[in-house]
Homo-oligomer: A and B are copies of this chain.
């Protein structure tokens, strides 16, 4: 522990340094250090409980192995809603309810197929349709391939794409330490590739999977056709990173090779589903709400373990850990299992809309949707004062590996609640392994480490304990 920094819980970092010297008012009162000791002890109890009596791992086993992948509109998603309601009730939340929401209903259909032949060798390509893509004709499509590395490159080729299968092969930038930044740099190809190339008359789109690792697992994910007319819609699929590397090599020697792929996916009419909501009523300000959540839906290929089964069971465990440690929040802590984050965020929109209609007062939100790996910190989306407040808890959180308290986004499901006063936070575990599994058939229970998962639950519960105790809005006195 760096003894050179002075840190006060529930207060901003006080010290003077160079230009900041004038602001120095570092009087550490007895009360402040007692408060720090109490907060520190409560956080320690939360971690101890998670690591010795935690339930998240067995909840996750149940959700992933007994229900499995749960794409919006699927029978598995419906089962997951009932499962979620039952788990919330089992830990004795004050109230539990289902919030109806219509969700998109896209189905993959039969297993996709792809191959090409070079030097008389047929090369099968691991492939999967992208969410919302149209199918190919029943017999598939065949065409010459044009390789590009970005949307911009595709746009610049213009008419040359006509009748071609466009191969987006922009790879993750491995030099970016946080793999989500690499994802951010590539995912446009997946989301908008078919829109851009459809408009230019291409026949189909295949996209290199979104991951650092070279392997044989195609990564699905959502795409959209935007405003282009339906007759310009073209099928879109992802191929594995290794297949992308190989295809790129083969194209250099065989620029006219014929690529074949077939998929039978389909978008059905919207389906009824639900957000699952439960809460611990606040003892002092029951009308002030802090939301904690993740998303209950997942892609269909794997078990939706890291994305986002871990976020679901960690959110539930936040409530469990508070109750188990007899911490009675003064504000209402509301656990939300959002539906349809993956392809539509309809659950998030519905939740925010109803909160607005009911004039609910949300003062904070915490989302876990970055996997269940070892804790690193939190990303803060709040006004300046509240950002400083959260950062002032660093010394309380650092002993648990929570060093990164940086300004950034929170999460897709809670960000529709954004306003000037609310403090939105995203839980940030280590990102190195996340895109090895994301949206693939191997996002399964066995990839999650029990302790890492539990440390995440405890990290989140500790933050909620501090947010509940110290968060202020305009109509409250600063703590």
Inside 8 A of A401's CB, which chain B residues have their CB? 177, 376, 430
- As a 0/1 sequence over residues 416 to 449 of chain A, the CB contacts with chain B under 8 angstroms (1 = contact) are 0000000000000010110010000000000001
Inside 8 A of A399's CB, which chain B residues have their CB? 177
Known: A399-B177, A401-B376, A455-B432. A24 touches B16 (CB 8 A): yes
User: Among A16, A28, A406, which residue has the most Cβ atoms of chain B within 10 A?
Assistant: A16
Instruction: Establish whether residues B21 and A24, one from each chain, have CB atoms under 8 Å apart when the complex forms.
Output: yes
By beta carbon, the residue of chain B nearest A174 is: B51
Instruction: Establish whether residues A17 and B1, one from each chain, have CB atoms under 8 Å apart when the complex forms.
Output: no
Inside 8 A of A51's CB, which chain B residues have their CB? 174-175
A52 proximal to B (CB < 8 A)? yes
By beta carbon, the residue of chain B nearest A44 is: B175
Instruction: Establish whether residues B6 and A47, one from each chain, have CB atoms under 8 Å apart when the complex forms.
Output: no
Write the nearest CB–CB distance from A305 to chain B, whole angstroms: 16
Inside 8 A of A26's CB, which chain B residues have their CB? 17-18
A328 proximal to B (CB < 8 A)? no
Question: Which of chain A's residues 345-400 have a Cβ closer than 8 Å to chain B?
Answer: 373-374, 376, 391, 394, 398-400
Inside 8 A of A436's CB, which chain B residues have their CB? 449
User: Among A213, A450, A451, which residue has the most Cβ atoms of chain B within 10 A?
Assistant: A451
Instruction: Establish whether residues A400 and B47, one from each chain, have CB atoms under 8 Å apart when the complex forms.
Output: no
A162 proximal to B (CB < 8 A)? no
Instruction: Establish whether residues A451 and B212, one from each chain, have CB atoms under 8 Å apart when the complex forms.
Output: yes
A452 proximal to B (CB < 8 A)? yes
Known: A374-B374, A450-B213, A451-B212. A17 touches B17 (CB 8 A): yes
Question: Which of chain A's residues 43-80 have a Cβ closer than 8 Å to chain B?
Answer: 47-48, 51-52
Other-chain residue from B13, B28, B398, B432 in contact with A403 (beta carbon distance below 8 A)? B398
Chain A positions within 8 Å of B, measured between CB atoms, are 1-2, 4-6, 13, 15-18, 20-21, 24, 26-28, 47-48, 51-52, 174-175, 177, 179, 212-213, 373-374, 376, 391, 394, 398-401, 403, 405-406, 430, 432-433, 436, 449-452, 455
Which 10 A/B pairs are nearest by Cβ-Cβ distance? Answer: A15-B17, A18-B26, A403-B403, A51-B174, A48-B175, A432-B451, A374-B430, A432-B452, A374-B432, A6-B17
7 A-B pairs with C-beta separation under 8 A: A1-B406, A4-B15, A16-B21, A51-B175, A401-B430, A433-B449, A433-B451
